[in-house]
């Protein structure tokens, strides 16, 4: 089982320029929860996720993680979270296996290869990323989800560039993580076919 998590977002307000991305937004994320942040392009989905992680400033509100104020004890949240951004962040000069080792230097080569196999990339382990498609690069980053012991996942548009099989594989991994007591916060325009998230809707 994953470490138990409880993240409370209370009366959160975020501004960008002269526009409110959100005002007095409150919701909770607990073990077993799948939270989908929804909204049109430009609504501030990624900014909300980054604000929770401390990378975008907030004007008002509280973030409480396992009973502690995140602004005072952000390390508690960061040590339990895994963030995968909108872009895969893959280095083209390195192979698929080398890129994954950069993410997870503490894992053995066998563990890295098993993760690549889960995302159907083992045959490309020694292929430079420059020769891979956008979807294959995305899957290198997503392979981290088969290696991490982090309880709280923040996934920003993780289905980008994935084919139908890739989407299904990722949904299965998320479902397994939730069943183990983990939690997921996700932004996506892709319909979730086999999962039922709680939806936090942002408006432009």
pLDDT in tens, 113-130: 999 999 999 999 999 999
- List the chain domain ranges: 6-201
pLDDT-derived band at 143 (thresholds 50, 70, 90) equals very high
User: Is pLDDT above 80 for 136?
Assistant: yes
Which residues are registered as beta bridge partners of 198?
Answer: 35
- DSSP secondary structure string, 65-86? ETTEETTT-HHHHHTTEEEE-S
Summarised one tens digit per residue, pLDDT across range 158-177 is 999 999 999 999 999 999 99
pTM (two decimals): 0.94
**Three-state DSSP class for residue 119:** coil
Summarised one tens digit per residue, pLDDT across range 12-40 is 999 887 788 889 999 999 999 999 999 88
Strands, sheet with 34-38, edge to edge from the N-terminal-most edge strand: 81-84, 152-156, 183-187, 34-38, 198-201
pLDDT-derived band at 9 (thresholds 50, 70, 90) equals very high
- DSSP secondary structure string, 121-140? -GGGTTSBGGGS-HHHHHHH
Architecture of the domain delimited by 6-201: 3-Layer(aba) Sandwich (3.40)
Strands, sheet with 19-30, edge to edge from the N-terminal-most edge strand: 19-30, 6-16, 60-65, 68-69
Query: What CA–CA distances, in Å, run from 64 to 5, 27, 53, 71, 73?
Result: 11, 11, 12, 9, 9
Summarised one tens digit per residue, pLDDT across range 66-107 is 999 998 888 889 999 999 998 889 999 999 999 999 999 999
């Amino acid at each position: 089982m994953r470490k138990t998590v409880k993240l409370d977002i209370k009366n959160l307000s975020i501004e960008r320029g002269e526009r409110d991305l959100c005002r007095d937004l409150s919701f909770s994320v607990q073990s077993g929860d799948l939270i989908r942040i929804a909204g049109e392009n430009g609504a501030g989905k990624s900014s909300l996720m980054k604000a929770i992680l401390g990378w975008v400033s907030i004007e008002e509100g509280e973030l409480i993680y396992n009973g502690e104020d995140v602004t005072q004890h952000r390390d508690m949240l960061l040590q339990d979270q895994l963030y995968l951004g909108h872009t895969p962040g893959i280095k083209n000069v390195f192979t698929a296996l080398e890129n994954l080792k950069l993410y997870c230097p503490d894992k053995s080569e066998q563990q890295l290869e098993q993760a690549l196999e889960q995302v159907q990339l083992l045959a490309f382990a020694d292929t430079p990323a420059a020769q891979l498609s956008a979807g294959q690069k995305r899957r290198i980053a997503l392979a981290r989800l088969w290696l991490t012991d982090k309880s709280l996942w923040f996934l920003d548009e993780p289905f980008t560039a994935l084919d139908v099989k890739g989407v299904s594989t990722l949904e299965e991994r998320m479902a397994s993580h939730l069943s183990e007591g983990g939690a997921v916060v996700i932004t996506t325009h892709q319909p979730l076919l086999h999962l039922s998230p709680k939806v936090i809707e942002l408006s432009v």
